[in-house]
């Protein structure tokens, strides 16, 4: 990052009245969690159909072992990285008001953030496809194949959003609200292609927020609504911003 960008970027963050971060898989890449798209992205190796609700209903027994490998085992072995910790520090200082995340890995909370809006749900819980009961996905329940509901024995589905499912209502409402009140909106590590999450930065822009973006590659937002594009890895750029605040 050049000084020409560092100075205005730190000024904007320092003076923010309502800073909101909008994060995607890229912020957890340096924690060893693969992104979905791009060179080493999951969707280059696996058929995204495994996260389609109707397909999952028909093939849950086949898909669950894959979900354990791709998500649960990877996430349980991952630790927050300097990008997560910088956002936690900013929340503690009262600078960062909330994080809207598309991630299901819990790493923002583990780093210390409390105001996290989980737009795509999470891996902590599961929902029964038969009775609709929500259950904490303990190791014991997760050991089953497929994991089944402790109440009725029906097949469980992870409580994250599959393709074809609506966004959890409370998260959707809060995310819209935070996007509309932000005066600085920091987009980190998302390609910006998955609707409706992809619309949130446009809401912030419409409401007059300054849009900053951190990503090693240009995204759907770069050159369209981004005011300052900081090109590079989140785990490197965020600590530099922090040191210069």
- Which parts of this chain interact with ligand OAD (CB under 6 A)? 24-27, 29-30, 35-38, 41, 102, 120, 160-161, 189-191, 193-194, 214-217, 219, 233-235
Report which residue's Cβ sits closest to ligand OAD: 26
Nearer to ligand OAD, 205 or 233 (CB): 233
Nearer to ligand OAD, 78 or 150 (CB): 78
3-class secondary-structure state, position 47: coil
- What SS3 string covers 65-97? HHHHHHHHHHHHCCCCCHHHHHHHHHHHCCCEE
Nearer to ligand OAD, 15 or 76 (CB): 76
Can you tell me the distance from the alpha carbon of 64 to that of 120, in angstroms, rounded to the nearest whole number?
A: 18
Two structure tokens written together for 146: 């497929």
Nearer to ligand OAD, 120 or 210 (CB): 120
Contacts of 67 (CB under 8 A, 6+ apart): 50, 158
Q: How far is the CB of 152 from ligand OAD (least distance, A)?
A: 26
Q: How far is the CB of 192 from ligand OAD (least distance, A)?
A: 6
Q: How far is the CB of 143 from ligand OAD (least distance, A)?
A: 23
Q: What is the DSSP letter of 117?
A: E
Any catalytic annotation for residue 115? no
From the centroid of its chain, how far is CA 58?
Answer: 27
Can you tell me the distance from the alpha carbon of 99 to that of 117, in angstroms, rounded to the nearest whole number?
A: 6
Can you tell me the distance from the alpha carbon of 147 to that of 87, in angstroms, rounded to the nearest whole number?
A: 34
Question: Is the separation of the CB atoms in 119 and 197 below 8 Å?
Answer: yes
Spot the catalytic one: 18, 84, 115, 120. Answer: 120
Residue 121 C-beta-side C-alpha neighbours within 13 Å: 18
Nearer to ligand OAD, 150 or 228 (CB): 228
Question: Is the separation of the CB atoms in 148 and 64 below 8 Å?
Answer: no
Catalytic residues: 120
């Amino acid at each position: 990052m050049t000084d020409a960008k560092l100075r205005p970027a730190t000024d904007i963050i320092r003076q923010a009245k309502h800073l909101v971060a909008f994060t995607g898989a890229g912020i957890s890449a340096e924690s060893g969690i693969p992104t979905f798209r791009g060179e080493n992205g999951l969707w280059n190796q696996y058929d995204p159909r495994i996260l389609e609700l109707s397909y999952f209903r028909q093939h849950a027994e086949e898909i669950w072992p894959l979900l354990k490998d791709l998500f649960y085992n990877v996430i349980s072995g991952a630790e927050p990285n300097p990008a997560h910790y910088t956002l936690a520090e900013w929340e503690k200082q009262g600078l960062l008001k909330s994080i809207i995340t598309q991630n299901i890995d819990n790493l923002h909370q583990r780093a210390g953030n409390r105001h996290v809006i989980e737009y795509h749900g999470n891996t902590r819980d599961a929902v029964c496809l038969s009775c609709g009961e929500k259950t904490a996905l303990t190791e014991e329940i997760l050991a089953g194949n497929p994991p089944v509901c402790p109440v009725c024995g029906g097949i469980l589905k992870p409580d994250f959003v599959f393709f074809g499912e609506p966004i959890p209502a409370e998260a959707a409402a809060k995310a819209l609200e935070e996007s509309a009140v932000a005066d600085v909106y920091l987009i980190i590590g998302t390609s910006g292609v998955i609707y409706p999450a992809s619309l949130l930065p446009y809401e912030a822009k419409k409401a007059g927020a300054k849009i900053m973006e951190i990503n090693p590659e240009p995204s759907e937002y770069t050159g369209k609504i981004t005011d300052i594009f900081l090109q590079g890895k989140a785990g490197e750029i965020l600590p530099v911003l922090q040191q210069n605040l």
